[in-house]
Amino acid sequence: MTTNTKPISPESGSDELERLAQEDIAKRRRFGGSVSALVLPAGEGQLAFRLAKMGCAVTGADSADQERRFTGLALANGFRDEIRFAAFDYDTIPEDIPGGPFDLIICRRGLCRLPYGSARTAVRRLLLELKIGGKLYVSVLGLHSELGDNYPAIEEGIEHRFAVLADAMAEKYAMHYPVCLYTERNLFSLMLECGASVLRTFTTTHGNVKAVAVRV
């Protein structure tokens, strides 16, 4: 038996935000409609595969070098036509992402790797990839999670809060790059500034922050 020594992301695994997205898909499917979703990043594909099993047409978005691996995993899990891949980068979100416009976009992580101003630009672009009435599910790392311990930018306002984590946290989670950590109020403000209607925000027991917003 081998031991997996890969650090576990503070946002890994199925969580409350993903559960809410799956409930939304199930509700839409009960009324007989087709449902489309964008999952980013695609990662190992587990969430994309769960949504596809629910009858959802899914686009998994990730860096271009992940396409072969992701499509291989999709085929290995029995998905040939239900799931597609889109090359994606938060800094240069492409227009006309395959499968769009979407009923749901699930943004599990990645925004924190951008300064707040760039995250605002990215969210505005993502909203344009939603149908009117479509929902955006966003998860970000929390300022009041353990990642905030000795975080150098903890006293900075959100517009200037962008720094590498303290050494212990950077080592624990293999996050050796600058990040922007959010409070729940910060994420709420981000959604409003981007023109979304915020349905819900909440903070997890681990201190990370989630939001559900709708394109109006």
Asked if 164 and 154 count as a contact pair (C-beta separation under 8 A), the reply is no
Distance CA 84, CA 48 (A): 10
- What integer is the mean pLDDT of 104-120? 94
Asked if 161 and 180 count as a contact pair (C-beta separation under 8 A), the reply is yes
Total domains present in the chain: 1
For residues 97-126, one letter each, b for 16 or more C-beta atoms within 10 angstroms of the residue's C-beta and e for the rest, the string is bebbbbbbbbbbbbbbbbbbeebbbbbebb
Q: Is the pLDDT of residue 13 over 90?
A: no
Distance CA 187, CA 111 (A): 11
Model pLDDT for residues 194-211, shown as the tens digit of each residue: 999 999 999 999 999 999
HSE (CB half, 13 Å, CA atoms) of 99? 23
Model pLDDT for residues 43-71, shown as the tens digit of each residue: 888 999 999 999 999 999 999 999 999 99
Asked if 37 and 135 count as a contact pair (C-beta separation under 8 A), the reply is no
Q: Has residue 163 been placed in a domain?
A: no
Asked if 202 and 210 count as a contact pair (C-beta separation under 8 A), the reply is yes
> Which band of pLDDT confidence, cut at 50, 70 and 90, is reported for residue 83?
very high
| Confidence (pLDDT) at 4 | 36
Strand partners, 207: none
Q: Is the pLDDT of residue 112 over 90?
A: yes
Q: Has residue 113 been placed in a domain?
A: yes
- Report phi then psi at 54, rounded to 5: -85, 0
| Confidence (pLDDT) at 94 | 80
Of the candidates 171, 169, 109, 170, which has an alpha carbon nearest to the alpha carbon of residue 140?
A: 109
| Confidence (pLDDT) at 18 | 92
Asked if 199 and 213 count as a contact pair (C-beta separation under 8 A), the reply is yes
**3-class SS shares of the chain: helix, strand, coil, % to 5:** 35, 25, 40
Q: Is the pLDDT of residue 216 over 60?
A: yes
Q: Has residue 204 been placed in a domain?
A: yes
Task: Provide the CATH number for the domain around residue 208.
Answer: 3.40.50.150
Distance CA 99, CA 194 (A): 23
- Report phi then psi at 155, rounded to 5: -90, -5
Q: Which two tokens stand for residue 93?
A: 């979100």
Q: Has residue 173 been placed in a domain?
A: no
- What integer is the mean pLDDT of 98-120? 93
Q: Has residue 11 been placed in a domain?
A: no
> Which band of pLDDT confidence, cut at 50, 70 and 90, is reported for residue 96?
confident
Asked if 141 and 173 count as a contact pair (C-beta separation under 8 A), the reply is no
Task: Look up tokens 């992580």; give the residue.
Answer: 109
> Which band of pLDDT confidence, cut at 50, 70 and 90, is reported for residue 139?
very high
Q: By residue range, what is the domain housing residue 56?
A: 16-141+182-214
Q: Is the pLDDT of residue 2 over 80?
A: no
Q: Has residue 152 been placed in a domain?
A: no
> Which band of pLDDT confidence, cut at 50, 70 and 90, is reported for residue 1?
very low
Distance CA 56, CA 67 (A): 20
**Of 1 and 183, the one with more pLDDT:** 183
Q: Has residue 155 been placed in a domain?
A: no
Q: Is the pLDDT of residue 42 over 80?
A: yes
